[in-house]
Each structure stands twice: as C-alpha cells, then as structure tokens.
Structure 1
Amino acid sequence: MTRVAVVLPTKDRPPELARAVRSVLSQTHTDWELHIVDDGSAAPASLATDDPRVHLHRHDTARGVSAARNTALSAAGGDWVALLDDDDLWAPEKLAHQLGAAATHDAEMVWTATLLIDPVGRVLRANPVMRPDGPETLRRFNVVGEPSSVLVSRAAVDAAGGFAEDLSILADWDLWLRIAPHVGTWALDEPLTAIVEHPGSMQIVGLTEIERELAVLAERHGVHPDSPEMELYLTGKRWAAHRGVRTTAAYLRASARTHGTRGALRRLAGRGRARTRLAPAWVSELMRC
C-alpha cells in the first residue's frame, strides 16, 4: 500500500469537521495519515476519535487556508497528498480508485468528478470532470476543479513549493499551474467527492477576493480573467450569492457565450435533472451522522 497524507484545514466548523473526518475514516484504502490544522478557531477544534492516524495541529492566530495546508504538509509524510476541505466529503472508494488510476495511467495528479450538494445532502448539480488539452487550457480556467477532489504526488507538491500563502480561494489553481505542465495527469469520471454549498462557502462570500486573486494569477501565470469560462464562473458565483433577475440573465448570457445556446440549455436541463437525483448512499449516510 502507498501512504497518503490527507491535508485538512479547518476553522470554526465543528460539525462539518467531524463529518469530513468520518469520510476519511471510512476510506477502503487504509494506509493514510490525516493532518488537520485548526487555523485559529474561536474554540479549539477537538476530535471524537482516538485513531492514531489522525493528527491535530493548531494555529493560535488565523493565518489563512494556504498557511494551514502548508503546516499540514510540513508535518506529514507519505508519497501522495490528498486535499480535503472541512465542509466537503469523500466516497469510501475515493483514495483507492485514485491510486489505482495513478498506477494504471502513470499519473502524478488525479482528480474526480464531483457532486454539489446542499447542507442537508440534496444534489444540486453533478459536475463532470474536465481535462486540460495543454497548458493554455489551464490558464483559461481551473479545469482541475475543487481541491477536495485532487490526489497529487508529494514529490510534485514539494518541487512546486507548496501553497502560495498570499492566496486563498484560488491557491489551489495557482499550485496546479505550477504542477500540471510537468507531470502526468488523469481525471476520473466517477463523482467520488461531494462539495457542500452553504451560505458560508468561501467561493460564495469571497467574490471580491476571487477577483483580486485572478489578477495575481494573470500576472504570475498569464491566466485569462476575461475568458468566456471565467466569465461564466464569476457570473455563476454572483448568481449563487444573489439570485435575482439581473444575475440570472447575466449567467444565461455567459453560459451561451461559453457553450452556445444549445449547450447552455442542455446544461440548465442537466442542473434541473440533478436536483431530482437521489444522493449516493455514502453521502446520505455521512449527512445523517
């Protein structure tokens, strides 16, 4: 077996943290170590497990999500790094399937399809995987997606220098831009990661910060903040934060620009179908705990 270092930053989310930890404990691949970094929670984080693979660290003063991830990396061993945010969930087979894909496809970076769910576990949207067809694709948009879906070799993370601590919401994209051009990558079509959307989600409350960090990535890596994909991403976040006539119209225009009118309609229909989709059993079980 290959040891995996699981990196989990947290702040002021005890119920969500407990649920995320349970999703790690449920992994069918058992050779892992979990490093949780409490980034200055008002009440220090605590754990309801004595599993020796689980390690809890703390920043007495909040230093940001990237610093928390770097603290976990400094404390962790392992040949692989798996990222998990404290409000997200993993299917039990996630690590096992990703390690299998890495071996089969000679990849050092593997990510999965995701499900967007609401705080009670209802499916809002199924997000299929995207694959870069060259460095330019990743500069147009973060095709890798949510950090909680990613497994990456420790050697690649170390060679890239870890997370940039002046970034938060887009720090994962910054890291992928430094890693992906130099390693083999693979994307699993299976939705093995669940992203929980709630009012406190970083990407809903942090639109101004997203725009600031986009400017940083444009300077550092030549990303395209005005690409159709980024316009769709930003209008989608504005629509999620405030669903009104104006934000809905802007989102529809951006979707049509990116995918064409027919493609936009298919995506909207897909979202409608997703809302009637039953959550997988592993999501329902974790949400009940």
Structure 2
Amino acid sequence: MHDDLVSIITPAYKAASSLPATIASVLAQTYPHWELLIADDCSPDGTRAVISEWASKDSRIRLITLPTNSGPAAARNFALSAAVGRWIAFLDSDDLWLPEKLTQSIAFAQRQRAALVYTGYRRIDAHGHRTGQYIQVPSQLTYRQLLGNTAIATSTVLIDRNQTGSLRMEQVYYDDFVCWLGILKRGLTAHGLNEDLMRYRVMPKSVSRNKRRSAGEVWKIYRTTEQLGRVAASWYFLSYAGRALMKYRKF
C-alpha cells in the first residue's frame, strides 16, 4: 500500500448525469494524493463512457467494470480489490465533497489515531440545490453505540487500512452499515469530525427513502448478521429509528 494515497471507492449504476459533478468535486480536493476507482455495474446508460472520458484526462481516475450487474456491494468490492492506498474513502456516484474533505479527514484521523472517521454534511436535491439543516455528528461511536445510530454517512467515511486490514462488503441491503459495524466490533472506535464536508444528494425515487423497507433491513441486520437476541435488537432498533426520525426532520 502507498502510505499517503487515498483510494476513493465509487460504485456507479445509471449515474451518467450525476457523475461529472461527483468527479469534479474530487478533482477540486486540496489533498492531491488520491486515486478514484469508479466501478460501473453494467449501467445501461452512458455511465461507462462518462468515466472513460474523465479517466482519459486524469490518470488518477480509473474505470472498473463488472462482468454482470451485481449491486453496490459487489461494485465496491471490485474497486476495493484494485485499491492500493493506505486510506480508503467512499464517495457515492451522486454525492459531492467540499474541497477540504480529504485534507481535513486525514489530518483528523492522524491526530486521533483513528481507524475510521466520518464527518458532518448537508443535503442537496437532484439539481444540486442545498436544502435542510446541517447534520452534526457525535465525536465518537463504539460498536454498541453505532448499532443504535444513523450518524455515519457513507460518503463521509475515511478508513485507515493499517489498522483495519483488508475490507470487503457483504451482500446485504446496508452493506456500508455492516462494514462499519464489523470494524468497530474488533474493539476499534469511530471518530466524528463535526465539519461540513460533504453534500448528500437525495433523489426523488431514492431507494433509501423507502422507510418501511429500510426499517425491515435494519432489523434483519440486527437479527441475522449481528445475531442479536430479540430484546437487544428491539432496544437498538428503537434507538436507531428515533435518531433516524430526528435526522430526517432536519432534511
């Protein structure tokens, strides 16, 4: 691994319209040592062509192609298998970073000696217009605290592989949440940088807006993946749901 390099993991599916702004936000970073690995999950639109065009202009941008449409977890895993940086950052294909995102996240991770850091953010709509309040984050989260919390947004995360070792996403609905839990379950602590450094785009038909399915998938993670008893799962679920409602009120 290259010690100062950040490998940015971006799964992409039908992202031709949103990817240019996402890529531009990476190019605008004040931290220059990065590679952007965009995994195209067999998009039927012009996603692959968009990635190829940007990659031809900057060698730090790399197109990863999946052989079959396999979902975001598989796309992230394909990109992770090609990553050579010590640092792993996640950026979804419709989200944006502010210019200081990597600089501040790395400096914070080094100060805290943190395996995983996450930051605050704001929501934007499909057209990129800012809306809603700033979403603050807690200063720390342990495994048990994260079980009942929604504070870690995927596109804010930075991971130090020197501490976590190799990463791999599981084929579950919330593969990112399960990944963070797996890291913290080893006794590590996630550290929150309460700075506005990411823009989370909410699309009109976003899957994550289906609250009933989301609730069912979180419950499944508690019972199946984390193998919590019914009482413990119920306790964490109530905390998770309560915090989610509070967050969405700010949206």
Please give the TM-score of this superposition, normalised by the length of structure 2: 0.84
Letter in 2 for 1:185: A
Question: Corresponding residue for 1:241?
Answer: none
How far apart, in 2, do the equivalents of 1:208 and 1:133 lie? 25
How far apart, in 1, do the equivalents of 2:88 and 2:112 lie? 18
Residue aligned with 2:29, SS: coil
How far apart, in 1, do the equivalents of 2:109 and 2:179 lie? 19
Residue aligned with 1:3, SS: strand
How far apart, in 1, do the equivalents of 2:182 and 2:34 lie? 25
Residue aligned with 1:230, SS: helix
Give the C-alpha shift of residue 175 in structure 1.
Answer: 0.7
Question: Corresponding residue for 1:217?
Answer: 222
Are 1:117 and 1:125, in contact at CA under 8 Å, matched by a contact in 2? no
Give the C-alpha shift of residue 180 in structure 1.
Answer: 2.1
Are 2:141 and 2:189, in contact at CA under 8 Å, matched by a contact in 1? no
Question: Corresponding residue for 2:169?
Answer: 163
Residue aligned with 1:18, SS: helix
Question: Corresponding residue for 1:100?
Answer: 107
Question: Corresponding residue for 1:140?
Answer: 148
Give the C-alpha shift of residue 216 in structure 1.
Answer: 3.0
Letter in 1 for 2:222: L
Instruction: Give deviations 1:119-153, integer Å, cap 9, x for gaps.
Output: 2312223110124454321122233x211000001
Question: Corresponding residue for 1:198?
Answer: 203
Structure 2: runs of 5 or more not aligned: none
Question: Corresponding residue for 2:242?
Answer: 232
Give the C-alpha shift of residue 199 in structure 1.
Answer: 1.3
Give the C-alpha shift of residue 212 in structure 1.
Answer: 3.1
Question: Corresponding residue for 1:281?
Answer: none
Letter in 2 for 1:163: M
Q: Could you say which structure has the higher strand fraction?
A: 2
The 1:219–1:20 alpha-carbon spacing in structure 2 relative to 1, beyond 3 Å, is: same
Larger Rg: 1
Give the C-alpha shift of residue 8 in structure 1.
Answer: 0.3
Aligned partner (choices 135, 150, 154) of residue 127 of structure 1: 135
Letter in 1 for 2:48: A
Structure 1: runs of 5 or more not aligned: 237-254, 256-263, 275-289
How far apart, in 1, do the equivalents of 2:70 and 2:234 lie? 27
Please give the TM-score of this superposition, normalised by the length of structure 1: 0.74
1:1-289 alignment, distance < 5 Å: 2-43=4-45, 44-46=47-49, 47=51, 48-49=53-54, 50-120=57-127, 121-132=129-140, 134-143=142-151, 145-159=152-166, 161-165=167-171, 167-168=172-173, 170-181=174-185, 182-205=187-210, 207-208=212-213, 210-221=215-226, 222=228, 224=233, 227-232=237-242, 236=245, 271=250
Are 1:29 and 1:95, in contact at CA under 8 Å, matched by a contact in 2? yes
Aligned residues: 237
Residue aligned with 1:79, SS: strand
Are 1:108 and 1:152, in contact at CA under 8 Å, matched by a contact in 2? yes
Question: Corresponding residue for 1:250?
Answer: none
Letter in 1 for 2:241: E
How far apart, in 1, do the equivalents of 2:178 and 2:64 lie? 25
Letter in 1 for 2:37: H
Instruction: Give deviations 1:172-216, integer Å, cap 9, x for gaps.
Output: 111111112433432111110110111132301474255135313
